[in-house]
Amino acid sequence: MQSIVEKVVSGDVRTVARLIRDIDDGMPEVRNVLKELYPHTGNAYVIGITGAPGVGKSTLVDQMIAHLRKRDKTVGVLAVDPTSPFSGGAILGDRVRMQRHSMDKGVFIRSMATRGHFGGLTQSTRSAIDVLDAMGKDYILVETVGVGQDEVDVVRSAHTTVIVVIPGMGDGIQAIKAGILEVGDIFLINKADRDGSDKTYTDLKLMIEMDQRKYDKGGWKPPILKAQAVFDEGVAEFMEEIERHAQSLKATFGGLDIRKQKDMVRQELSEMIKARLLEEVISKLTETGDFDRAVQAITAGKIDPYSACDNLVLPIVGLSHP
């Protein structure tokens, strides 16, 4: 294990790729490695890029990599796929668009699976962020699956959260209203040459102005930018805005170590406990056969699923029926 930790910290690409694969596959032995790697984390700047499918997130990430490499910054990229990291689909597109960076030793690109998790990030993705952080990457870009208003988890692990939209989204803007407006640090209208760009800008501005009281207290007010990522237009200004947000974080929190922010730690620990409990409970119930017996009882109409759930879980956690 110590050898794995040393190789990761020294930046060994094969060891990192193998470790992230084991994390994604849920291998239990990786927990001990992650424990040893944790003291080496907290140095990377994490940027979350989210938005509906088709808004050009991957193209934007590709250009962001290019800009960061021009500044001699090392970059890790985690592209979250809604189905499987080897299923093709969106990830195949990601790989094609980012392939010009694949031979660059300063860039590490990896696909992750959501495993049906509809919050944008899974615990495995958070662990992969830690691995790339410990590896020594200056910036980590997390491109999350676009699932609309539920996609708010990324803010728990990112310093800067970017919401990407395109002109003419219509209901897409309504979805932002309903869910992810509050987590956006920067709004980027991509494909801004399309009709409706100005209206989209106005809609976003009105939404942000509705929360004006929060910004009157000195909070960060999300800027709205326009870009055509495919032509690298507006990306330099966008990167400058990310840097401005980083400076704002430093001024507000006295640094960029989000692990020292109590709310962040509470949320991450809560999610970790949920994942760990689920893993242990399901494992135990499967081994004893109780889970399958409960399924059969429900399908036979002998018991309702609520009672079955209580019967299975409460004894494990040491609670009795209410």
pLDDT at 180 over 90: no
- What does the pLDDT look like over 37-84, one tens digit per residue? 999 998 999 999 988 778 888 899 999 999 999 999 999 999 886 554
Half-sphere exposure of 108 (CA within 13 A, CB side): 26
pLDDT score for 111? 82
pLDDT score for 98? 63
pLDDT score for 85? 44
Do 203 and 176 meet the contact criterion of CB atoms below 8 Å apart?
Answer: no
- What does the pLDDT look like over 249-285, one tens digit per residue? 888 877 777 666 777 788 778 878 887 888 888 888 8
Q: Which amino acid belongs to residue 205?
A: K
pLDDT at 300 over 50: yes
Spatial separation of the C-alpha atoms in residues 6 and 136, rounded to whole Å = 12
The answer, as to whether pTM is greater than 0.95, is no
How far is CA 128 from each of CA 92, 249, 310, rounded to the nearest angstrom?
A: 20, 23, 34
pLDDT at 141 over 90: yes
Confidence of residue 207 (pLDDT cuts 50, 70, 90): confident
Do 172 and 200 meet the contact criterion of CB atoms below 8 Å apart?
Answer: no
Domains of the chain: 42-256 (3.40.50.300), 258-322 (no CATH)
- What does the pLDDT look like over 144-161, one tens digit per residue? 866 544 455 666 678 999
Confidence of residue 179 (pLDDT cuts 50, 70, 90): low
> Can you tell me the mean pLDDT for 286-295?
92
pLDDT score for 117? 44
pLDDT at 31 over 70: yes
More confident residue, 273 or 178: 273
pLDDT score for 291? 92
Percent of the chain with pLDDT over 70: 78
More confident residue, 71 or 319: 71
